[in-house]
Amino acid sequence: MKKFELVGKGINLILGDNVLAVLSDVPLNTVSSAFHNGGGVKKTKAILNVEVLKSCSDQYLHDNPEPYITDSARKFGLEESFIGMVTAAAVQNFSLVSKRNGELAVSVIATAADNEGNTCNFAESAGEPIDIQVHEGTINIIVVIDGNPTESCLVGTLITVTEAKMAALRELDVRSRASGDEATGTVTDAIVVAETNRGAPIVYGGPASELGQLVGYCTRKAVKEAVTKANEFMPSRSIKERLRERHLSIAKLASELSKVNDLKVDEQTLAKILESEPLFALLVLAAANMDEDFKKGLLPSELSNVDAVSERFGGLVLEATKSASIPPASKVDYDSVDLPPFTKSVLINLVRSALSKEKTGNLK
Last residue of a domain, one of 208, 228, 248: 228
pLDDT for res 297: 95
- What DSSP element (H or E) covers 346? helix 341-359
Average pLDDT, the chain: 88
Last residue of a domain, one of 228, 261, 281: 228
Classify 352 as helix, strand or coil: helix
Q: Are the beta carbons of 76 and 16 closer than 8 angstroms?
A: yes
Residue 11 forms part of a structural domain:
yes
User: Which range of residues forms the domain containing residue 164?
Assistant: 2-228
pLDDT in tens, 79-119: 778 999 988 889 999 999 999 999 999 999 999 976 565 66
Based on the fold, state whether residues 131 and 253 are members of the same structural domain: no
Name the percent of the chain lying above pLDDT 90: 62
Residue 276 forms part of a structural domain:
yes
pLDDT in tens, 24-74: 999 999 999 998 888 888 999 999 999 987 655 555 555 667 788 888 888
Q: Domain count of the chain?
A: 2
pLDDT in tens, 235-249: 888 999 999 999 999
Residue 322 forms part of a structural domain:
yes
Based on the fold, state whether residues 268 and 214 are members of the same structural domain: no
Residue 234 forms part of a structural domain:
no
DSSP 136-205: --EEEEEEEEESEE-HHHHHHHHHHHHHHHHHHHHHTT-B-TTTSSBP-EETT-EEEEEE---SSEE---
Based on the fold, state whether residues 243 and 173 are members of the same structural domain: no
Last residue of a domain, one of 228, 257, 292: 228
